[in-house]
Amino acid sequence: MRNVANLTEVLDNWRFDIINQIKGLLQNDHQSLLPDYARIQPLSEALDDLFKEFNALKTRLGDLTDKFTAIETFIDEVKTSHATSSSANANANPNPNTSASTNPNTGAAVAPVVRQRRVMRKKAPASS
């Protein structure tokens, strides 16, 4: 038991000595414990430059996204108008041998409107 008490006393003395040495260094020679603040300014400037470049890239990406959105909208409109004009031409002029007339006001070609009649046949009553 006496050895345990001696060991505890030795550890307490070491702790007290270490804390006093660190306290003395912090009060008298803090340069040896704290980081070199002269190096922090260039690191801060480099980090600031990275943030500026990142924000510039975000802005440029937003601009490109807006441009591509406009292009996609235009392409969708062209596809839609092409599809509707193709189906309108196929429905309006089923006989390719007929010619289209022109609009007297604009001189533009006007597709003739052909109306087809639907024929409905009645089912014969089932004989039982």
- The residue that leads in pLDDT, 102 or 51, is 51
Does position 52 have pLDDT exceeding 90, yes or no?
yes
Q: And the tokens for 26? A: 């912090």
Entry pTM: 0.35
What pLDDT score does 102 carry?
Answer: 58
pLDDT level of residue 115 (50, 70, 90 thresholds) = low
Q: What is the DSSP string of the chain?
A: -HHHHHHHHHHHHHHHHHHHHHHHHHHH-GGGTS--TTTHHHHHHHHHHHHHHHHHHHHHHHHHHHHHHHHHHHHHHHHHHHHHHHHHHHHH-S-TTSPPEE-TTT--EEPPP-PPPP---PPPPPP-
Burial (0-12, 13-18, 19+ Cβ within 10 Å), 111: middle
User: What average pLDDT does range 92-104 have in this prediction?
Assistant: 53
